[in-house]
Amino acid sequence: QVQLVQSGGGLVQPGGSLRLSCSASGRIVDIVSMGWYRHAPVQERAAVAVLIRPVRTRYEASVKGRFTVSRDNAKNTVYLQMNELKPKETAVYYCKSRASDMDYWGNGTLVTVSS
């Protein structure tokens, strides 16, 4: 199994920045991908940015150039740097890992973009 612990998030003004963190533990060697998803009100949960081993990244079209997903292997942590945030990006953001054909989710963190 894989355990994920998220941190970061909160309230930010439009145009501002936030960084989310997701630390993994457990069967880390089995992880083939880690990424970030968001669940906005009255919308389905959707992928935002995903890291696929060994080096591929995928971004949702609307965040390209503003969001960056990265990892620190020494800390078993994945980050999501979010810049130029927009009010419509208010959502609960989840970290997800894929390992041994199973999905593991973090606890979620609320990001509110509002003035």
Amino acid at 30: D
- pLDDT interval class at 64 (50, 70, 90): very high
For residue 41, what pLDDT is reported? Answer: 86
Cβ proximity of 36 and 48 under 8 Å:
yes
Percentage of the chain with pLDDT > 70?
A: 100
Residue 55 has pLDDT above 90, yes or no: no
Q: How far apart are CA 45 and CA 50, in angstroms?
A: 14
For residue 79, what pLDDT is reported? Answer: 96
What is the average pLDDT across 30-46?
92
Q: What is the bridge-based pairing of β-strands 18-26 and 77-82?
A: antiparallel
Residue 111 has pLDDT above 90, yes or no: yes
Q: How far apart are CA 80 and CA 27, in angstroms?
A: 22
What is the average pLDDT across 80-101?
96
| Three-state DSSP class for residue 89 | helix
